[in-house]
Structure 1
Amino acid sequence: MPSRESLQIVTKRKKQPHRQRSERKSSLFPAAALGLSPPSPASTFWQPIRSFALSQLTSLVRRATLRESDLAPKYEKVHNFKVHTFRGPHWCEYCANFMWGLIAQGVKCADCGLNVHKQCSKVVPNDCQPDLRHVKKVYSCDLTTLVKAHNIKRPMVVDMCIQEIEARGLQSEGLYRISGFSELVEDVKMAFDRDGEKADISCTAYEDINIITGALKLYFRELPIPLITYDAYPRFMEAAKVTDPEKRLEAVHEALKLLPPAHCETLRYLMAHLKRVTQCEKDNLMSSENLGIVFGPTLMRAPDLDAMTALNDIRYQRLVVESLITNDDMLF
């Protein structure tokens, strides 16, 4: 007959599984109360792998989104309406009503071809989508019009010239200060107007890098609206006249907000390039001050200024460009 001690041991062993089950249930109660499924050994094992895969997928999506935004910028552009005489009957593309009259019945956008009444042109939204059939040149073309027509982020002239200069000309002495032959600079201009991004500006076509720098400066000089626009010009001049360096930097930053997105992006890209030019100053002898002297009047000009005022502004134009080059990482 079993003793009392052995019976107690057997009873304890029988009660132990029940106690473990009850402890497991009590440990699962908080998860059930929160509406969560209890973690299993398999899910605990796969959780780090799932987290890593999710992070990689998120990173891929983010990179794809950034690439998409780089390729398809959404710049707002106003229509370039001009009075037009239509042949035959025409209807307004905004209000869908007939255009009456024999001559000058309405206006036509020179960039996208939109036909509307003169009154309707005042309320048409800024959604111009330039058509390459109407935008047939690169130089002397409005900057925003050009980038929207070609669906690019910056003018191809700026990208292609800067890439060529950085590939073979950063150590060239007097870069941007020395001018290339004007006839060859005109050839580059005609190549861009004729062939666009297919223009050949390689060293085999133009060995002298000063021809490429001359073509880039000519592009900015011939913009109908300067890179630093007429509307933003007074604010940049005021910023240049601030004596305190920190306050001047803040004033320049505020002035940058007045630029259209396409102008601001092109200016950012150009200033980053000029910063790299100054990093080779020992070879090319071009400091930020020297580049400011070259690019000041090229990038910004004020309309309707007398000769003395314009001459006085050259000093402040240099200060603006010099400040943009030196502090490009903080301003853009």
Structure 2
Amino acid sequence: MLNHVDKYPASIVESGSDVGALSECVVRYLRELPSPVIPPGVYPDLQAALQHGTADLVASSSGGRELSLVLERATSVPLHHRLTLQYLLTHLGKVGQGSQLNGLDPHTLGLVFGPLLIRPSSATGWEVGEEFPALALERLLMERAMVQEVPPPGRR
């Protein structure tokens, strides 16, 4: 990430005055990670939870947190990935709260960041529609908005 930040003057980075430049750094950093924040091993379970939960987000037995629960229970998601995802979801949730001003609602955030966090490929041997990453992230943001405070992974 520092390589991306180094391309901009220190005054912009330190002050946070150029939101576009900082956003570009984050997007480029996520794109260039060697593995996605959400690993391919959980994609089938996320897909199933997404399909199961589309009927009614709140009335389900899991309180409308199907996708979040898949990630919390998955042993194949390393702790540093969980923490990064939790931080990103918290931040993107805050960004989404200002959607009246910035136009970045959960759907738009899903379209922008979903493919950066969930990167299905033919190498995984699991085929998924192009819309899956965006829909999954949108749903995670919606689930997150329904809960007040999510405890950090591994601390219950």
TM-score by length of 1: 0.36
Q: Where do 1:64-75 residues align within 5 Å? A: none
Runs of 4+ with >4 A deviation:
203-207
Aligned to 2:32: 222
Point out where structure 2 has 5 or more consecutive residues left out of the alignment. Answer: 151-156
The separation in 2 between residues aligned to 1:247 and 1:224, in whole angstroms, is 36
What do the CA deviations read for 1:193-242 (whole angstroms, capped 9, x no partner)?
A: xxxxxx94635788532111011011111111100012122221222222
Paired position in structure 1 for 2:66 = 251
Report the counterpart of residue 232 of structure 1 in structure 2.
Answer: 42
- Deviation per residue, 1:88-142 (Å, 9 max, x gap): xxxxxxxxxxxxxxxxxxxxxxxxxxxxxxxxxxxxxxxxxxxxxxxxxxx5xxx
What is the SS of the residue equivalent to 2:35? Answer: coil
Alignment partner of 1:241 is 2:51: yes
Instruction: Give the TM-score, by structure 2 length.
Output: 0.72
Alpha carbons 2:68, 2:140 under 8 Å: kept: no
Match of 2:138 in 1: 322
What's 2:93 paired with? 275
In structure 2, C-alpha distance between the alignment counterparts of 1:289 and 1:233, rounded to whole Å: 19
The alignment partner of 2:40 has SS state of coil
CA contact 2:68–2:143 (8 Å) conserved in 1: no
What is the Cα deviation at residue 279 of structure 1? 1.2
Change (3 A) 1:269 1:220: same
Please state how far the C-alpha of 1:294 moved relative to its aligned partner: 0.7
- Find the counterpart in structure 2 of residue 295 from structure 1: 113
Higher RCO by CA contacts (8 Å cutoff, separation 6 or greater): 2
- Say if 1:288 and 1:322, in contact at 8 Å, map to a contact too: yes
Contact 2:110 2:133 in 1 (8 A): yes
Give identity over the alignment, percent.
26
User: What amino acid does structure 2 have at the position aligned with 1:315?
Assistant: E
Within 5 Å, give how 1:90-239 maps onto structure 2: 139=1, 189=4, 191=6, 200=10, 202=12, 208-239=18-49
Instruction: Return the alpha-carbon distance in structure 1 between the equivalents of residues 122 and 108 of structure 2.
Output: 27
- Asked if 1:266 is matched to 2:79, the reply is no
Within 1, Cα distance between the matches of 2:66 and 2:20?
Answer: 34
Gaps of 5+ in 1: 1-138, 140-156, 158-187, 193-198
More helix by share: 2
Alignment-derived partner of residue 5 in structure 1: none
What is the alpha-carbon root mean square deviation over aligned residues?
A: 3.0
Query: Conserved in 2, the CA contact under 8 Å of 1:221 and 1:298?
Result: yes
Which of these two proteins has the greater Rg computed from alpha carbons? Answer: 1
